[in-house]
Amino acid sequence: MSKVIEINKLNKIYTETAVPVHAVNDLSLSFEQGEFAAIVGPSGCGKTTLLNLIGGLDKPTDGKIWIDGTDITTFSIGQLTDLRLWNIGFVFQAYNLIPVLTARENVEFIMELQHKSKAERRARAEELLVAVGLADRMDVRPSRMSGGQQQRVAVARALASKPKFILADEPTANLDSSSTETLLNIMEELNGKEGTTFIFSTHDSRVMKKARRIITLEDGKVLTDNII
Amino acid sequence: MIISIAWKNIWRNKLRSFVVLFAIAIGLVAGILSVAVMNGALRDRIKIAIKTEIGSIQLHRADYLNNAEPDKTIDNAGEIIKKIEENQDVIAVSGRLKLEAMINGGHGPRGAMVLGVNPDSEKRVSDLYRYIPDSLGGWFNSDLRNPIIISSRLADKLKVGLNNKVQLDFVNKQGEAIAAIFRVCGIFQTNNSIYDEMNVFVENSILQKMLGFDENEFHQIVLLTKEDADLDSISTVLKRKYSAFSINTNTLQNLGNLKVDSSIVDYFSANQDLVSLNYGQMLELLKKTPMVLSLQTQKDILRAFESGITVMTWEDAAPEMALTSYWMDWLLYIFVGIILLALGFGIVNTMLMVVLERVKEFGMLMAIGMNRRRVYLMVVLETVFLSLAGGVTGIVISSILISWLSKSGINLVSLAEGFNSMGYSTLIYPYIGLEDYIKIVIMVILTGVVSALYPAWKAIRLNPADAVRSE
Ligand SMILES: Nc1ncnc2c1ncn2[C@@H]1O[C@H](COP(=O)(O)OP(=O)(O)OP(=O)(O)O)[C@@H](O)[C@H]1O
Ligand SMILES: [Mg+2]
């Protein structure tokens, strides 16, 4: 299997604070195509910071990140935006969706940014929404969906652009246990079916159990890295 | 999809959007109504001026306008009048003698312009007869000898009344001083006090005998066209036919003894635009002509020009009125512009709030791959839509109000004194043209775009990582 993400001696120091925070500290790590990996660790250990760096949402202080062999740490803001659009799917803890659009429109939106044809957008949005079990909620706006349903739309949206990998920062943090279970099952299934790499952070031990690789961070460093 | 998102986003906070929308609407209604009232007053003023004072188009002998001497009458005026009457768009034509004179009622002389008119044809080009109240005589309908019609303002100044005598001192065609006694047979009053004090009317036939003019000899031909007629094209046709220039080229060609080089005629004929030149401009042109002309030739050409005709639309004849009309366009820009500027600050403020409220959402949009250009466009569109919604509401309300007010008119009696002296009517029918609404819509869109610049800039300056993380 090929390496989708390769990280070498990555550092992120937040300097805007009174005391500089070394949120990611000389961290090296790599991910291969098709992984289903969890990043865990105590609050403040640097999970979100790491995911933001991998996702090109923020720039590292030091170190390298290669995505499919391309160093993204030298990218301009515009290049990073394109990188995210074409290669990375995002699922956040909340506020994932555009509130004025329906589930279907939210999923189609990202494909419109990619200039996909109307027919292709329709077909893929429906296919994905069916896959996440929302066949009957396609034309409903986020405000009329439960938290779990909204997160499932977010997963569908993240997959719609056919990314190389999906980054999900605590996607289940706001969900009850049965919704968490459903979302994880869907993610697992899509990981198997579409072969898309999933990297997600979590505090939840039940979520960790689903992962096939668990990376534990502490003070911005990798403490343990176990493939199950 | 960005367009539909932007539109839908406006209605997320309905109360706030409606407040902004109504602020814009109310501001615009105030601005549009003010401009419409001024516009209406001016249009009315122009309409009345055309119908009583100026006419739609005036013709004079070219050099009469430079120096109004009695002998500078229009050549072939009778034929020209007949020709003009054939035009479908012309309602009526009238020839006038127009002479400077002193008028005296026994309490000191005053300067006046004596208009010698044919009572019948004059009545068709000018509404002036309507401005004579029943109690103050009528339009040449008495059997007084040498009747004259003057304004009530002039009558006051001269201290004369109906049937009283006034003496006119003027110069006849041969340049000799003539004095004659007239009797006031009618007293008129228009809204324009300056016009009133200046002009007096007598019968053409009487002046002709008194001063030695022929029957069809006039200083001025006035025509009234239909209201929707294209004045420019009518005046161009008249210029082509009768202007100083066209008569001149014919004259030059016909004057065999005038040894004028054919290249000179060609030079003047080549340029069609020359037909619209007036006498003064023609003089200038002659000075600048590339050909070397002998002094005698120049004189001959000028004499030929002098006998030509200058054609003036009301805009040429009353340039100050045309200028006011031109400034009216600017007034719209200034009035509505200032209102929109003030509203613009409110819009900027609102959109900054919108951006601030949606930091997380903008972060998410940028994170999933919406580039800065699109984010910027979305904020601009949202602002423009909000402004336009207010703009359209304002325009709809204004047009309903204006169409209602333009039926009943607005009475400005309290302001009447000042208004009257400038010839403005006291009952105003607000008016605003379709093209003005289009201008306003464009201004509203521009306001939206400009107001969006800073908030949109704020939005794209967000760092997606921080924005997504923000609470
Ligand atoms: N924008 C920032 N400016 C300054 N310090 C920051 C910023 N973002 C994060 N930090 C700090 O960096 C460290 C790592 O934070 P991060 O959010 O990555 O941890 P986390 O593992 O995601 O925590 P949690 O489980 O609570 O989400 C923390 O000490 C945090 O306070
Ligand atoms: Mg976190």
Per-residue pLDDT tens listing for chain A (228 residues) = 578 999 999 999 999 888 999 999 999 999 999 999 999 999 999 999 999 999 999 999 999 999 999 999 999 999 999 999 999 999 999 888 999 999 999 999 999 999 999 999 999 999 999 999 999 999 999 999 999 999 999 999 999 999 999 999 999 998 999 999 999 999 999 999 888 999 999 998 888 999 999 999 999 999 999 998
CA distance readout (Å), B377 to B351, B380, B424: 13, 5, 48
Atom 18, ligand 1: residue with shortest CA distance: A46
- Ligand 1 centre to CA of B406 (Å) is 67
Mapped onto helix, strand or coil, the DSSP state of residue A57 is: coil
Distance from CA of A88 to the nearest CA of B (A): 8
Distance from CA of A228 to the nearest CA of B (A): 30
ipTM score assigned to the predicted complex: 0.95
Q: How far is residue A64's CA from residue A70's CA, in Å, rounded to a whole number?
A: 10
Q: How far is residue B37's CA from residue B159's CA, in Å, rounded to a whole number?
A: 38
Which residues in chain B have their CB less than 8 angstroms from residue A55's CB?
Answer: 367
Domain residue extents for chain A: 3-227
Q: How far is residue B372's CA from residue B350's CA, in Å, rounded to a whole number?
A: 21
Q: How far is residue B8's CA from residue B34's CA, in Å, rounded to a whole number?
A: 33
Q: How far is residue A86's CA from residue A72's CA, in Å, rounded to a whole number?
A: 14
The finding on whether A13 has its CB within 6 A of some atom of ligand 1 is no
Note whether A101 contacts B5, CB cutoff 8 Å: yes
The model's confidence at residue B66, banded by pLDDT at 50, 70 and 90, is confident
The amino acid occupying position A44 is G
pLDDT at B298: 66
- Ligand 2 centre to CA of B362 (Å) is 19
Q: Range with the lowest mean pLDDT among B47-61, B317-331, B358-372, B389-403?
A: B317-331
Domain residue extents for chain B: 2-49+319-469, 57-225, 245-307
Angle, CA A46 vertex, CA A45 and CA A47 arms, to 5°:
105
Atom 8, ligand 1: residue with shortest CA distance: A49
Q: How far is residue A103's CA from residue A140's CA, in Å, rounded to a whole number?
A: 6
Candidate from A48, A77, A113 with C-beta closest to B370: A113
Mapped onto helix, strand or coil, the DSSP state of residue A200 is: strand
User: Going by DSSP bridges, is the β-strand pair A3-14/A21-32 parallel, antiparallel, or unpaired?
Assistant: antiparallel
**Residues 6+ positions from B471 with CB-CB distance below 8 Å:** none
Question: In what helix (H) or strand (E) does residue A28 lie, and over which residues does it extend?
Answer: strand A21-32
Candidate from B5, B371, B469 with C-beta closest to A100: B5
CB atoms within 10 A of CB B310: 26
Which residues in chain B have their CB less than 8 angstroms from residue A84's CB?
Answer: 367-369
Q: How far is residue B227's CA from residue A40's CA, in Å, rounded to a whole number?
A: 84
pLDDT at A64: 96
Residue B419, pLDDT > 60, answer no
Enter the tokens of residue B140: 């040449």
Q: Per residue in B214-251, pLDDT tens? A: 988 999 999 999 988 888 888 888 877 776 555 555 55
Mapped onto helix, strand or coil, the DSSP state of residue B105 is: coil
Length, in residues, of chain A: 228
Give pTM, 2 decimals: 0.79
Reported as half-sphere exposure (CB side, CA atoms, 13 A), residue A61 has a value of: 15
- Ligand 2 centre to CA of A24 (Å) is 13
- Ligand 2 centre to CA of A26 (Å) is 19
CA B298 to chain centre: 36
Q: Per residue in B351-365, pLDDT tens? A: 999 999 999 999 999
Nearest CA in chain B to A14: B466
Q: How far is residue A206's CA from residue A212's CA, in Å, rounded to a whole number?
A: 13
Mapped onto helix, strand or coil, the DSSP state of residue A89 is: strand
Q: How far is residue B187's CA from residue B185's CA, in Å, rounded to a whole number?
A: 7
Identify the residue with better confidence: B213 or B250. B213
Q: CATH fold of A3-227, please?
A: Rossmann fold (3.40.50)
CA distance readout (Å), B21 to B6, B7, B14, B444, B454: 15, 14, 10, 12, 20
Contact in structure between A183 and A175 (CB atoms under 8 Å): yes
Candidate from B5, B12, B369 with C-beta closest to A85: B369
Among all bound ligands, the one having the nearest atom to the CA of A203 is 1
The model's confidence at residue B270, banded by pLDDT at 50, 70 and 90, is low
Mean pLDDT for the stretch of residues B101-128: 93
Question: In what helix (H) or strand (E) does residue A14 lie, and over which residues does it extend?
Answer: strand A3-14
The finding on whether A17 has its CB within 6 A of some atom of ligand 1 is yes
Contact in structure between A149 and A138 (CB atoms under 8 Å): no
CB atoms within 10 A of CB A17: 8
Which residues in chain B have their CB less than 8 angstroms from residue A105's CB?
Answer: 1
Which residue, chain included where needed, has tokens 């590339």? B290
- For the CA of A49, the nearest atom of ligand 1: 18
Q: How far is residue B23's CA from residue B14's CA, in Å, rounded to a whole number?
A: 14
Which residues in chain A have their CB less than 8 angstroms from residue B463's CB?
Answer: 57-58
Enter the tokens of residue A142: 């986020």
Which residues in chain A have their CB less than 8 angstroms from residue B369's CB?
Answer: 81-82, 84-86, 110, 113-114, 161
The finding on whether A15 has its CB within 6 A of some atom of ligand 1 is no
Please spell the DSSP secondary structure of A144-174, one letter per residue: GS-HHHHHHHHHHHHHHT--SEEEEESTTTT
pLDDT at B304: 62
The finding on whether A53 has its CB within 6 A of some atom of ligand 1 is no
Identify the residue with better confidence: A53 or B269. A53
Q: Does B464 touch chain A (CB under 8 A)?
A: yes
Contact in structure between A208 and A38 (CB atoms under 8 Å): yes
Q: How far is residue B461's CA from residue B208's CA, in Å, rounded to a whole number?
A: 85
Note whether B364 contacts A96, CB cutoff 8 Å: yes
Q: Range with the lowest mean pLDDT among A170-179, B110-119, B272-281?
A: B272-281
Q: How far is residue B371's CA from residue B375's CA, in Å, rounded to a whole number?
A: 6
Note whether B368 contacts A78, CB cutoff 8 Å: no
pLDDT at A32: 94
Phi, psi of B222 (to 5 degrees): -115, 135
